[in-house]
Each structure stands twice: as structure tokens, then as C-alpha cells.
Amino acid sequence: MALSESAVSALLDALRVGEGTDLVRELAQWALQALIDAEATEAIGADPWERTAERTTHRNGSRPKVLSTKAGDLALSIPKLRKGSFFPGLLEPRRRIDQALYAVVMEAYVNGVSTRSVDDLVAAMGVDTGISKSEVSRICAGLDERVAAFRGRTLGHSAFPYVYLDATYIHVRDDALGQVVSRAVVIATGITAEGGREILGVDIGDSEDETFWTRFLRSLKDRGLSGVRLVISDAHAGLKAAIRKCFTGSSWQRCRVHYARNLLANVPRAHQEMVAAAFRSVFALTTAADVTARWDEVTDTLTDRFPKAAESMRDARTDVLAFAVFPRAHWRKIWSNNPLERLNKEVKRRSNVVGIFPNDQAAIRLIGAVLADQHEEWAVARRYLSETSMAHLDDPRDTDPDQPAIAG
């Protein structure tokens, strides 16, 4: 993209009199914005207000983005789309993850954590010689600062009616014990009052006990987390106890996917598909009254042949059906932990590249970078739940004025 003759002349004149810094920043900002707009046009298939057969969607305003460069901070606008999402490739949304992966691998290497995967990665990067501990420390310090800022940011800008909690496990070398140990990585995500998705926090601990979960949840509240109406998670005992302690007045949704596995454990293998189909039929219905009635029918059907399964359904009824008193447009997004499970898979995919982390800080560095980049992608994507449907949170019977709440 060439500058006009007048722009080049103005730049040369400004440089001669020592005023070039601001102009260089302005020109860089102009050029990058033009490239972003051009990339958006290519993705959409049309310029603004242009009618073409290739158009796939329309622009829907823009979102501000500040890019730090050697010329200064550039104030850019990222176009938003009515359908789908857009983020310009030139801003490299995955660069932070790549830096974090590099830093973790290098730290493992210089500290002698020589697993086969680390050795292979070091060789592939072409840096198996000449890497120093001071260089690794410098890279890590920069990444740690950014990840810490992400993990410690305030959450008071919005209420979060829906909060999802889950954990995954990684392997970390414990120098004090002289062995590799399993560590729990806990992640919280939330849906804002406007329907957007955010990653709320991440931490690493020895296990998913009540003390660890309580400390993590209280740290979220200390950062401003509020307005929680429903917490979605599995039925881990420590997590359940921490939710009751930290979110008094909120409901708890037991993940229907996790519960289905527990239910089928009480049924002989030959009959599991039949029971699974009956269980799924509960969630095909569209009113709270029908959902609870079908749950009770399935429970009664199982009583004679599979009494343990029937007893399980009676005990879990309130927790698995907690979603049904919320707006029907939200049900598929709040009756399970699947949205967070997909995020955990991405964390595991990145963690598996390393294999064994040299310490907890290295794990937080990489996982925090993965989550920070995902958070930014969600920020420019369309809302997870529509703003219109979120307005019905105080009147969940929006699809059926006569719909009663779940009977106890």
C-alpha cells in the first residue's frame, strides 16, 4: 500500500524539524487500519454499503483495539459482523501462546527437565545450543507480567448471571519431592449480563478439595465477580461445598453430561443405550412442567428393573433440572459444562506438547496465555446468548406465560 506524494512530503518535512514521531505513529495507525478494513472486506465479500453476490454478512459497528508498537500505541477499530466473527490476521491473536510455549520449553530445557517431547521441540526450534538461563528468564518475565495482568483484572464491569467451573489435570515436576506430580488446573468462565463470554480466572493446586476451590472462588469475588444466578459444574464434592459457601443465594446446575455417565454406571451394559435414550428424551421437551413430568416418568420406569438408577434420578432431580427455571433460549447453553469442556481440551492440547512442566509458574504461563488469547477472541465474537434473551432473566417464563417453576 503506497503513500501518496503529499503524505511522503509531509513525513519528510516533519522529520527534518524533529516532529516525525507523532506523524510516524499516525501513518502507521492509518496504514494498519486500512489493512484491517481491507481484510474485513475480503472476509465479508463486499465493501461497506456495497451490494455483491459474494457478500456473506454485514458489518455491525466496530470494537476498539490498542496495539502497542515502537512508534507508540495505535488506536485501531476491529469491525464487528452481524453473523460470525472477525479478527485480523495481521494482529496475530495466537502470538502470545507461541511465545508462552517457547518460554516453557526453553525453561524446561535449561533446567534439565529433559523429556523426549521437550528435546524434540528444542531441536525443531533450532535453539538447542546457545540458550542461556538469563535469556529464558527475560522472556518469562515479560510473559508473566501479561498473564498476571489478565488473571488479576477486575470483574466489576458487568454482572455474570451464569458461571461455569471445571478442572483438568497436568503433570508438573516437584523439586521438593524429587518427582513428577499431578496438579489440578481450575478454570472459571462466565456469561455477562449482555450475553458475552469471558474467562474469569485460572489457578493451579494440589487437588480439587474444598479448601482450594473456596480460595479460588473467593478470589473471583474479591476481583468483583457478582450477580451470579446459576453455577454450572460437575458434582465433585469439594467443588459443591465451595459453591454453597461462596455463592449463597445462587442455584447450582449439575452438568447433565457428567450426570448421564454416573447414571449409566448403575445400568448393565446391555441396557445402557435404552436408558440413555430415555434420559435424553427429558431434554427434548420445551417447558419446565413437561421436563419434570418426563423426568419422573423415566424414573418410575426404571424403578423395578434398575432400582439404583431410579434412586439416583430421584436424588439428582433438582440439581440436574435447575436450568428449567431460566429462559428457554438459554437451556442448551446452561444445562451442561460442555462449553468449558471444549476450552479444557484446548488447554490439554497445548499442555500435552510440553508433557511435564518444570514448575507451577511455567504451567500458569502457558495455560494463562492460551486462556488470555481465547478471551480476546471471545471479545470480538458475537454474543454467546442474545441480549434480548438475557433481558428475560428476571422473567424466565418468556416462552410460556403459564409455565410454572419446577415442583419440589
Is the full-model pTM beyond 0.85?
no
pLDDT at 334 over 90: yes
> Higher confidence at residue 1 or residue 166?
166
Instruction: Tell me the pLDDT band of 295, cut-offs 50, 70 and 90.
Output: very high
Instruction: Tell me the pLDDT band of 188, cut-offs 50, 70 and 90.
Output: very high
Distances (CA, A) of 277 to 147, 193, 271, 281, 373: 44, 34, 10, 6, 38
Instruction: Tell me the pLDDT band of 288, cut-offs 50, 70 and 90.
Output: very high
Model pLDDT, residue 144? 81
pLDDT at 259 over 50: yes
- For residue range 95-123, what is the model confidence (pLDDT) as tens digits? 555 555 555 555 554 444 444 454 555 55
Model pLDDT, residue 103? 57
Instruction: Tell me the pLDDT band of 301, cut-offs 50, 70 and 90.
Output: very high
Across the chain, mean pLDDT equals 81
Model pLDDT, residue 287? 95
> Higher confidence at residue 151 or residue 65?
151
Alpha carbon distance 174, 181 (integer Å)? 7
Rounded to an integer, the average pLDDT of 46-70 is 81
Model pLDDT, residue 244? 95
| Range with lowest mean pLDDT among 4-13, 186-195, 357-366, 387-396 | 4-13
Model pLDDT, residue 43? 85
Rounded to an integer, the average pLDDT of 348-359 is 80
Model pLDDT, residue 403? 43
Question: Burial level of 256, CB count in 10 A (0-12/13-18/19+)?
Answer: buried
Model pLDDT, residue 145? 83
pLDDT at 401 over 60: no
Q: Provide the percentage of residues in the chain whose pLDDT is more than 70.
A: 75
- For residue range 360-397, what is the model confidence (pLDDT) as tens digits? 988 898 888 889 888 988 988 889 999 999 998 876 55
Helices (H), 19-115: 20-44, 95-110
Rounded to an integer, the average pLDDT of 135-153 is 77
Domain ranges of the chain: 5-91, 149-394
> Higher confidence at residue 48 or residue 300?
300
Q: Which residue has the cell 427429558?
A: 282
Instruction: Tell me the pLDDT band of 18, cut-offs 50, 70 and 90.
Output: very low
Model pLDDT, residue 138? 61
The cell numbers describing 346, all together, are: 484446548
Instruction: Tell me the pLDDT band of 400, cut-offs 50, 70 and 90.
Output: very low
φ, ψ of residue 47 to 5 degrees: the values are -75, 165
pLDDT at 296 over 50: yes
> Higher confidence at residue 180 or residue 141?
180
- Residue 5's CB: how many other CB atoms inside 10 A? 8
The cell numbers describing 117, all together, are: 517431547
Least Cα distance to 241 among 218, 216, 219, 209 occurs for: 209
pLDDT at 315 over 60: yes
Instruction: Give exposure, 112-144, as e/b (b: 16+ Cβ within 10 Å).
Output: ebebeebeebbeeeeeeeebeeeebeebbeebb
- For residue range 212-253, what is the model confidence (pLDDT) as tens digits? 999 999 999 999 999 999 999 999 999 999 999 999 999 999
